[in-house]
Structure 1
Amino acid sequence: MAVQVLERDGEPEYAVLPWAEYQELLAAAGRQPVVRAAAPLVQEPPVFDLANLRRLREARNLAPEQLARAVGISPHYLGLIESGERLPDQAILRALTRLFAAAPEGSAD
């Protein structure tokens, strides 16, 4: 049996073992096996439409400097993204998606 013992202040506090071995111990003790519920699906945010980035920014009365600061990039890089010269990485896309999903169109941040 592959048991890992976790200690606190030098005293055993928890025993960790593989799930299958835990189920076997339950069965040997005459107890019902534990049935795990399926993990909830994590829903990905919608894909951000870069073609509308400038229009969305302007609709929220955001200066390029404000939007760039909000997503952690330089205003110059934001200009390259808005013009289609650069594609942002996934972290920047997620930040843009969260930012524009949080505020209704036409509101100032």
Structure 2
Amino acid sequence: MDIQIISRNGEPEYAVLPWDQYQALLKAAGHQQPSPAPSPTVQAAPDQDLRPLADLRGLRETKGLAIETLARTVGISPSYLGLIESGERQPDAAIRRSLAWELGVAGWRDES
């Protein structure tokens, strides 16, 4: 068997082995594990991604945040945040995630 032992603090913690050998061990032990199916990825439409942040300015003002404060916290310039709020620019997924996090938009997630 081609097994790799991974240790932590000098003690074995994990054993890594090829998948076919793992399957053979399961079979020998009387266990059957289905082959993992690829998990489906669901991509939301761009409009759907932005819906929770559609009224970005309103969300920011409700939280009592100045545009400069929110922009710096998210890692963008206040002028760029102003462009996003006015609809002149569309933020990328990382900026949308940061904005949603800082504004407390519950359940908002984007895996891209």
Per the TM superposition, whether the score is higher than 0.5 is yes
Larger RCO of the pair (alpha carbons < 8 Å, separation 6+)? 1
Number of aligned residues: 95
Residues 66 and 73 of structure 1: is their aligned pair in 2 closer, same or farther, counting only changes over 3 Å?
Answer: same
Match of 2:92 in 1: 89
Q: Which runs of 5+ in 1 are unaligned?
A: 39-45, 104-109
- What displacement does 1:83 show? 1.0
Q: Does 1:99 align with 2:102?
A: yes
Q: Percent identity?
A: 55
Per the normalisation by structure 1, the TM-score is 0.63
Instruction: Detail structure 1 runs of 4+ shifted over 6 Å in the superposition.
Output: none
Match of 2:75 in 1: 72
Check the 8 A contact 2:70/2:102 in 1, yes or no. no
Question: Which runs of structure 2 are paired with 1:25-40 in the superposition (5 Å)?
Answer: 25-28=25-28, 31-33=29-31, 35=33
How far apart, in 1, do the equivalents of 2:63 and 2:7 lie? 54
Q: Which runs of 5+ in 2 are unaligned?
A: 38-47, 107-112
The structure whose Rg is larger is 1
